[in-house]
Amino acid sequence: MKRLLLATTACAVFASAPAFAEECRARLDGLEQNIGTEEAYWTVLRSGMDDEVGVLWDVASGLEREGNEEACLQIAGALEAIIAETQAPGFIDASAWEAEQLARLDEATPVTENQGRMRIQDIMGMSVYTPRNEYLGEIDDVILSDSGIGYAVIERGGFLDIGDDEVPVPRDRFSVTRDRCILVLDIDPARLEEAPNYQVEMEAFEGENDDEPMVDFDAMRSKVDAFFDDLTSG
């Protein structure tokens, strides 16, 4: 049903004429405030609807920026329906979900020992948790090495584009759940805030024209490695 909803609302993008989108911006701001509460945020994550919400939010925000009010309002309505569903009484058993989630995280194995090869398309967008079920963010980018994926970049701040911290983490620091849906990183979330920030480095190394690299990762690689090596030794 959610996939059908996503396809139906996306089609509306091509059927609507540009218009001023103040009403849609107000609707999206209200949704952000609603989902931003801790209880609502975790309910959406627990329900497995975070991908649908994130995709619809990105589309609606793009339409709002372009002034396409009619299509933006249709997708905002779809978002409101999804959030209302997750907040209905009895929609999800939070305590049972928590126990199942902790069991999944406990059974995670290091990616270096994983039998199946993890491809870039497999890892992009994966959620990252600590073994204690603390949400850290999702994989927004990967950095390749000679042997394949060398680092995975965690975008912190949750979905709906709230926050733009991007933290590169060496691939071998991750474990992966048996169903290969979640990456596990054993770190205190507060400590992760101190890690080298890819976004900050990108702004520091941003080129003067489109032909120059956005970021010189080699210049920050030693800082990233030293940070995570210190976690192990500490």
Query: What's residue 232's pLDDT?
Result: 77
In tens digits, the chain (234 residues) has pLDDT values of: 333 334 344 444 434 434 445 888 898 888 888 887 767 777 777 777 777 787 888 889 889 888 888 999 999 999 888 888 887 777 777 778 788 889 999 999 999 887 557 788 888 888 899 999 998 988 988 888 877 788 999 988 655 655 568 899 999 999 999 888 899 999 999 999 899 887 666 555 444 445 555 556 777 888 899 999 988 766
Query: What's residue 234's pLDDT?
Result: 61
Tell me: do 78 and 150 sit in the same domain: no
Tell me: do 163 and 124 sit in the same domain: yes
Tell me: do 61 and 114 sit in the same domain: no
The CATH number of residue 211's host domain is 2.30.30.240
Range of the domain at 167: 100-233
Tell me: do 108 and 57 sit in the same domain: no
Q: What total number of domains does the chain contain?
A: 2
Query: What's residue 160's pLDDT?
Result: 60
The residue out of 86, 115, 147 marking a domain boundary is 86
Tell me: do 75 and 120 sit in the same domain: no
The residue out of 58, 86, 114 marking a domain boundary is 86
106-to-46, 62, 76, 93, 130 alpha-carbon distances in Å: 17, 39, 37, 20, 10
Angle between helices 69-86 and 22-35 (to 10 degrees): 20
Tell me: do 72 and 184 sit in the same domain: no
The residue out of 86, 114, 135 marking a domain boundary is 86
- Do 185 and 130 form a contact (C-beta atoms < 8 A)? yes
Cβ contacts of 188-194, under 8 Å, gap ≥ 24: 188/130, 189/130, 189/134, 189/136, 191/231, 192/136, 192/154, 192/156, 192/167, 193/156, 193/165, 194/227
Tell me: do 146 and 113 sit in the same domain: yes
